[in-house]
Amino acid sequence: MSRRGEGVEDGARPVGPAPSERLAWVAGVVAARPGERVVEVGCGHGVLVSLLVAAGAEVVAVDRSATMTAAAARRNRAAVDAGTVRLLTAPLVAADLPPGAVDVVVAVDVRAFWTPPAPEWDVVQRVLAPGGRAVVAFSVMRPGADRSTTDAVARAAAPHGFVVTAVHRGATAPTPAAAVVLHRAGMR
The reported pLDDT for the residue numbered 3 is 27
pTM over the 0.85 mark? yes
Q: How far apart are CA 118 and CA 101, in angstroms?
A: 21
CATH of the domain at 49: 3.40.50.150
The reported pLDDT for the residue numbered 5 is 33
The reported pLDDT for the residue numbered 188 is 58
**How far, CA to CA in Å, does 133 sit from each of 37, 109, 123, 171, 184?**
11, 17, 13, 23, 8
Question: How many domains in the chain?
Answer: 1
Does the residue 154 lie in any domain?
yes
Low pLDDT (below 70) residues in the chain:
1-19, 187-188
Does the residue 105 lie in any domain?
yes
For the beta carbon of residue 122, count every other beta carbon within 10 angstroms.
Answer: 14
The reported pLDDT for the residue numbered 20 is 87
Does the residue 115 lie in any domain?
yes
Does the residue 160 lie in any domain?
yes
- Burial tier of 92 (Cβ tally within 10 Å: 0-12, 13-18, 19+): buried
Span 138-150, pLDDT tens digits: 999 998 889 999 9
Does the residue 32 lie in any domain?
yes
Domain that holds residue 113: 21-184
**Short-list 11, 185, 20, 23, CA closest to 107:** 23
The reported pLDDT for the residue numbered 13 is 45
Q: How far apart are CA 43 and CA 50, in angstroms?
A: 10
Does the residue 111 lie in any domain?
yes
The reported pLDDT for the residue numbered 187 is 63
